[in-house]
Amino acid sequence: MSSPPSASASSSPPPCPKKMITLRSSDGATFEIEETAALQSKTLENMIHENCASTLIPVPNITGEVLARVVEFCSKHAEAGVDDESLGAWDEEFVAVDHTTLFDYIRAANFLEIPTLLDLGCQTVADMIKGKTPDEIKKTFKITTACTPEEEEEVRGENQWAFE
Amino acid sequence: MGSSFSGFSSDSDADGDGALAKPRLGDIPESCVAAVLMHLDPTQICSLARLNRAFRGASSADFIWEAKLPENYGTIVEKVLDEPKVLNLGKKEIYARLCRPNSFDGGTKEVWLDKRTGGVCLSISFKALMITGIDDRRYWNHISTEESRFHSVAYLQQIWWFEVDGELEFPFPTGTYSVFFRVQLGKSTKRLGRRVCNPEHVHGWDIKPVHFQLTTSDGQRVASHCHVDNPGNWIHYHMGDFVVGKSDTSTKINFSMTQIDCTHTKGGLCVDCVLICPSSVGKLINSLS
């Protein structure tokens, strides 16, 4: 029978070993994440409950590059004792990335159903969009598809109320 | 939320590896576009609807507009609109419908949502107010005018006892609201296409201030006074604010504007309506009129 580690003079019980989950990206890279952090994703939560025996979860839609960052996000947001201000600052840095990466985060958060990350990503894109005209947005985000003239006319009619 | 693609990227300069094109804003699923749009205000959402089909679809997502509607919009629709079927429409249509001025109580009141914030705004015509002596043509007259949303205003020639009272019971959503009296010193008319203001009866307002009083059935009370001034212009006089804590019951308010010092007469005043709107909207009101 092993004796508990006597790290400090206080009588607090030893920390429980944290359950780790391994995620495997679409390109075969693996990442470890604490179960508590993984539970921020509704998708992962369901998978964890379904595969109770195994701790390896394949995440086929997301590349290693993006999954690494998602794991970082979830771990940070599962950390205890982080005040709102520092978390906010950390989040701001997290999304200070190029558009492509930002959309990767949004797609990953959508697939994995991580409301905090989805909200953060979408708010960031919304802030970029605010105040820009539709044409400016097309240019900035390189949107190449468009409605037909007939569709545009319909859309104009449907939305006229907002400009009256 | 699905992860199906709307399949839009047509750029062949995607990437050298050719495997997966880097996602662009035009590529992300419609549900994600909707999640982005949710953070924008209604006017901007509607202006982006024409960007492409994903934006068009996303801009009509119910969850966006449900969040923008007042929490008790069902109650408001029932009270104000005669068409219960409106509640079967998509949430965007309901929002649009409520943004139009909706007349009720025999055309003496109008209610609408402030487009940008979804806040409930309400205007009460003088016809729904209790004005001392309103039926006595020596004191008060009705004037038809396009300068009122109700197309007519009450014009005071001269009186000793000036009192305008009103009350309202309405299911306001939670929030803080400002109450204004919209009045003008002087009678305006159009002469040869130009707006002209006739100050012939204006007198007495500089002697003593008018008093405003606002009370709610849950015990809130505001009293204030100020001088009516600025002839020739419609002014919204801010008489006070009230707070609605819960939107599951109707809020009942009483308000009045008085000048009953009978040592002097006063006159030359047009009374249009009482306006109630969210305080944040109210702050901008006089810069618009």
Q: Give the pLDDT band (50/70/90) at residue B14.
A: very low
Residue A34 DSSP SS3: strand
Q: How many Å separate Cα A26 from the centre of its chain?
A: 16
**Which of A63, A130, A143 lies closest to B44 in CB terms?**
A130
Q: What is the DSSP string of B54-86?
A: HHHHHTT-HHHHHHHS-TTHHHHHHHH-S-GGG
- Predicted pLDDT at B8: 34
Residue B50 to residue A104, Cβ atoms within 8 A: no
Nearest-by-Cβ selection for B8 from A99, A113, A145: A145
- Per-residue pLDDT at A71: 94
Which residue among B26, B27, B51 sits closest to A134, beta carbon to beta carbon? B51
pLDDT score for B236: 96
Contact B3 A111 (CB under 8 A): yes
**pLDDT over 70, % of chain B:** 90
- Distance in angstroms (rounded) separating the CA atoms of residues B127 and B138: 18
- CB-nearest partner of A126 from B20, B29, B40: B40
Nearest alpha-carbon partner for A134 in A125, A124, A143, A123 = A143
A60, pLDDT greater than 80: yes
Query: Which chain A residue is nearest to residue B100, measuring alpha carbons?
Result: A161
The more confidently predicted of residues A4 and B146 is B146
Do B28 and A159 count as a contact with CB atoms less than 8 A apart?
Answer: no
Name the DSSP class of A161.
Answer: G
pLDDT attached to residue B2: 40
- Put simply, whether A148 touches B (Cβ < 8 Å) is no
For chain B, report the end-to-end CA distance as a whole number of angstroms: 45
A107–chain B nearest CA distance, Å:
7
- Give the number of C-alpha atoms closer than 13 A to the C-alpha of residue A106, restricted to the C-beta side: 30
* Beta carbons of A137 and B48 less than 8 Å apart: yes
Q: Are B1 and B31 in contact (CB under 8 A)?
A: yes
Residue A103: which of B28, B40, B51 has the nearest Cβ? B28
Angle at B180 between CA B93 and CA B283, to 5 degrees: 70
Q: Where are the alpha helices (DSSP H) in B90-161?
A: 91-99
pLDDT tens digits along B190-239: 888 899 999 999 999 999 999 999 999 999 999 999 999 999 999 999 99
Query: b or e along B156-167 (b: 16 or more beta carbons within 10 Å of the residue's beta carbon)?
Result: bbbbbebbbebe
Q: How far, in whole angstroms, is CA B83 from its chain's centroid?
A: 21
CA of A105, closest CA in chain B: separation in Å?
A: 10
Answer whether B99 sits within 8 Å of A106, measured CB to CB.
no
Q: Which residue of A has its CA nearest to B40?
A: A126
Closest approach of chain A CAs to the CA of B42, in angstroms?
Answer: 7
Residue A5: predicted pLDDT: 52
- B287: pLDDT confidence band, cut at 50, 70 and 90? low
The two tokens of residue A130 are 């605010």
Question: Among B104, B115, B225, which Cα is nearest to B171's?
Answer: B104
Is the pLDDT higher at A32 or at B6?
A32
Amino acid at B142: H
Contact assignment for B29 to A110 by CB distance below 8 Å: yes
A59 pLDDT tier (thresholds 50, 70, 90): confident
Query: Stretch A43-51: mean pLDDT, rounded?
Result: 84
pLDDT at residue B83, as a whole number = 82
Kindly state the average pLDDT of the residues A133-146.
81
Render pLDDT for A82-135 as a digit per residue (tens, 0 to 9).
899 999 999 999 999 998 899 999 999 999 999 999 999 999 999 999 888 888
Query: How many whole angstroms separate alpha carbon B79 and alpha carbon A114?
Result: 39
Q: Quick check: A155 and B8 CB within 8 A?
A: no
Distance separating alpha carbons of residues A108 and B264, to the nearest angstrom: 74
What's the pLDDT at B253? Answer: 97
Q: How far apart are CA A40 and CA A102, in angstroms?
A: 19
Residue B16 confidence (pLDDT): 37
Q: How close A147 comes to chain B (CA, Å)? A: 5
d(CA B52, CA B38): 17
pLDDT on residue B135: 96
Interchain CB contact of A139 with B (< 8 Å):
no
- 0.90 exceeded by pTM: no
Pairing, β A20-24 against β A56-58? parallel
Check CB contact under 8 Å for B50 and A156. yes
Distance, in angstroms, between A55 CA and closest chain B CA? 24
Nearest to B43 among A110, A143, A162 (CB): A162
- B15 has a pLDDT exceeding 50: no
pLDDT, residue B204, reads 95
| pLDDT value of position B9 | 35
Higher pLDDT, A55 or A163: A163
Q: How confident is the model at residue A10 (pLDDT cuts 50, 70, 90)?
A: low
* Partner-chain residue, chosen from A107, A123, A143, that has the shortest CB–CB distance to B32: A107
Cross-chain Cβ contact B32/A126 below 8 Å = no
Instruction: Find chain B residues with C-beta within 8 A of A111's C-beta.
Output: 3
Q: Which CATH architecture has domain B120-287?
A: Sandwich (2.60)
Q: Are B170 and B164 in contact (CB under 8 A)?
A: no
Q: What is the mean pLDDT of residues B9-27?
A: 47
Per the prediction, chain B carries an average pLDDT of 89
H/E stretch holding A71: helix A64-78
Q: Residue A3: pLDDT above 90?
A: no
ipTM given for this complex: 0.81
> CB distance from A95 to chain B under 8 Å?
no
Q: Is B31 on the interface with A (CB under 8 A)?
A: yes
Residue-level pLDDT at A95: 95
Alpha-carbon torsion (A84, A90, A94, A97), positive or negative:
positive
Compute how many other C-beta atoms are within 10 angstroms of the C-beta atom of residue B222: 15
Q: Identify the band that residue A42 occupies on the pLDDT scale cut at 50, 70 and 90.
A: very high
Cα gap B129→B124, rounded to integer Å:
8
Which comes out higher in pLDDT, residue A164 or A88?
Answer: A88
To which H or E segment does residue A38 belong?
helix A35-38
Residue ranges per domain, chain B?
30-66, 120-287
pLDDT tens for residues B92-141?
Answer: 999 999 999 999 999 999 999 999 999 999 999 999 999 999 999 999 99
Helix locations, chain B, DSSP H? 30-37, 42-48, 53-58, 62-68, 73-80, 91-99, 279-282, 285-288
